[in-house]
């Protein structure tokens, strides 16, 4: 197993465009999390799946953000009508049900120009 | 609410010890500790659950005082490889120890030769 994989590693987009990121968790992990990290800050919770069910979405997340995890495997995070404030590192993590700490992916760095 | 980490930064010489603290204003069920090197994903170090236990491996250990809603990470005989930003992530329970986490702002640890 190669761990949690995220694609792309970097994304530069113009303000107003839509972007989509992908996360492939460790295959036997049922739980998948999305976090956002800006410079000098800790990761900030965005949303969380158990298998294909999205169990919680941060109140800080606007309607421009949506995430899916079809079939309980990979997950996608889409940001519509991007704004400069969306520039950040988007981290995906997975854990087995009732398991231990998070295994994070290397993240997708988004720059909105 | 975001846990508060102290100190914000610490510089050590190889072989010296350090303590990083994490305090929360709300009841804690679990505390995770992660280390993140520049440009990389956070890496899980350990998790402590409600019960005041102390954990450790190698020369890194941690304690959890649920009455004080605090956790401390102890690094002894530091090595160059310990350099990085340390984050605590606190869990409020509600479904297991690895539910969504709220991370502190991090403590930058620099170990010099």
CA distance A21 to chain B (A): 16
Say which of B2, B98, B106 has its CB closest to residue A95.
B98
- The answer to whether residue A48 neighbours chain B at the CB level (below 8 Å) is yes
Q: What is the pLDDT of residues B5-47, one digit of tens each?
A: 999 999 999 999 999 999 998 888 889 999 999 989 999 998 8
Asked if B74 and B62 count as a contact pair (C-beta separation under 8 A), the reply is: yes
Q: What is the pLDDT of residues A31-83, one digit of tens each?
A: 999 999 999 999 999 999 999 999 888 987 889 999 999 988 999 999 999 99
Q: Which residues of B touch A (CB under 8 A)?
A: 2, 32, 34, 40-47, 87, 89, 96, 98-106
Q: Which two tokens stand for residue A106?
A: 């290397």
Largest interatomic CA distance in chain A: 40
With residue B34 as reference, give the H or E element that holds it. Answer: strand B30-36
pLDDT of residue B55: 67
Strand-pair partners of A95:
A31
pLDDT of residue A52: 92
pLDDT, mean of residues A91-111: 89
pLDDT band at B4 (very low <50, low <70, confident <90, very high): very high
CB contact under 8 A, B34 and A106: no
- Contact list in A for residue B9 (CB cut-off 8 A) is none
B97 has pLDDT over 60: no
CB contact under 8 A, A43 and B98: no
Short-list A67, A66, A74, A106, CA closest to A89: A106
Q: What is the pLDDT of residues B63-96, one digit of tens each?
A: 988 888 899 999 999 999 999 999 999 986 555 4
Measured CA to CA, the distance from residue A92 to residue A107 in angstroms comes to: 7
Instruction: Give the nearest chain A residue to B101 (CA atoms).
Output: A45
A101, A103, A104: best mutation site toward chain B, by most B Cβ within 10 Å?
A101
A89 has pLDDT over 80: yes
User: What is the Cα gyration radius of chain A?
Assistant: 13
Strand-pair partners of B33:
B46, B88
CB contact under 8 A, B41 and A98: no
Short-list A112, A60, A61, A108, CA closest to A83: A112
A107 has pLDDT over 70: yes
CB contact under 8 A, B105 and A42: yes
Helix (H, G, I), strand (E, B) or coil at B112: strand
Short-list A111, A94, A112, CA closest to A103: A94
């Amino acid at each position: 197993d190669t761990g949690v994989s995220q694609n792309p590693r970097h994304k530069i987009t113009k303000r107003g465009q839509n972007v989509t990121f992908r996360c492939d968790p460790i295959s036997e992990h049922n739980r998948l999390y999305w976090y956002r990290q800006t410079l000098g800050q800790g990761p900030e919770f965005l949303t969380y799946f158990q298998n294909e069910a999205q169990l919680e979405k941060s109140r800080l997340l606007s309607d421009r953000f949506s995430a899916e995890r079809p079939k309980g495997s990979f997950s996608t995070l889409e940001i519509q009508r991007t704004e400069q404030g969306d520039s950040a590192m988007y981290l995906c993590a997975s854990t087995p049900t009732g398991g231990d700490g998070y295994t994070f992916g290397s993240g997708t760095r988004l720059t909105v120009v | 609410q975001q846990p508060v980490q102290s100190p914000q930064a610490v510089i050590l010489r190889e072989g010296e010890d350090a303590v990083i603290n994490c305090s929360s204003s709300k009841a804690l069920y679990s505390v995770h500790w992660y280390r993140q090197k520049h440009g990389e994903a956070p890496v899980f170090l350990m998790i402590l659950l409600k019960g005041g236990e102390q954990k450790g491996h190698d020369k890194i250990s941690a304690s959890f005082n649920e009455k004080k809603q605090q956790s401390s990470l102890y690094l002894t005989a530091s090595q160059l490889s310990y350099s990085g930003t340390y984050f605590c992530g606190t869990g409020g329970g509600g479904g297991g120890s690895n539910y969504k986490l709220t991370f502190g702002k991090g403590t930058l640890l620099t170990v010099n030769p």
